[in-house]
Amino acid sequence: MAGSLKRVLVLNGPNLNLLGTREPDVYGSTTLDDIAEELADLGSDLGATVEFRQSNQEGQLIDWLHEARDSFDGVLINPGGLTHTSVSLRDGIAAAGLPTIEVHVSNTPARESFRHQSVTAAVCIGSVIGFGKNSYALGLRALIDYLNAQ
């Protein structure tokens, strides 16, 4: 419903805890903590609370998706490398039944061929890729717009 405070879960997969130091030529110098802070502020401006989590464990991400069913309105997810390999994570997104947007800092189709296919995108309402840290903000804006239109 438009006007009510939305709850958004932001999930980050393997190796994203190293943003800011890992391959800065690909991922930039912004840390995951920086992105979390910016999203919290943006969420507040958009009428949403944002809960930000990261795990290097596939099962933890799936557990969080299952738990989100009863306490969140939507999910923003950067599955990291699991994007291209994890049918289990794909199924977890589908099972959660929440509007989900996939985001990526880098332009994955412009990278190595194994990064060209996303197994998780098909169960998301959309994807935002290649805009650096701004992919998160663009994804959050799109998700809030989608939720408010429901």
Q: Which domains does the chain have, with CATH numbers?
A: 6-149 (3.40.50.9100)
Whole-angstrom distance, CA of residue 101 vs CA of residue 76? 5
**Mean of pLDDT over the chain:** 91
pLDDT in tens, 67-102: 999 999 999 999 999 998 899 999 999 999 999 999
Catalytic residue among 27, 66, 84, 136, which? 27
DSSP one-letter code for 139: H
Whole-angstrom distance, CA of residue 59 vs CA of residue 49? 24
Each residue's pLDDT, cut to its tens digit, for the chain (150 residues) gives 455 899 999 999 998 998 877 766 766 678 999 999 999 999 999 999 999 999 999 999 999 999 999 999 999 999 999 998 899 999 999 999 999 999 999 888 767 776 668 899 999 999 999 999 999 999 999 999 999 998
**Is the CB of residue 105 less than 8 Å from the CB of residue 19?**
yes
Give the SS3 label for residue 148: helix
The tally of CA atoms less than 13 A away on the side-chain side of residue 65 is 31
Given this model, what pLDDT does residue 1 score?
44
Decide if 27 is catalytic.
Answer: yes
- What are the residues facing 48 on neighbouring strands? 6
Catalytic residue among 66, 104, 116, 146, which? 104
Give me the phi and psi of 130, to 5 degrees please: 90, 10
Count of residues making up the chain: 150
Using the CB atoms, write b or e for 11-31: b if 16+ within 10 Å: bbbbebbebbeeeeeebbebb
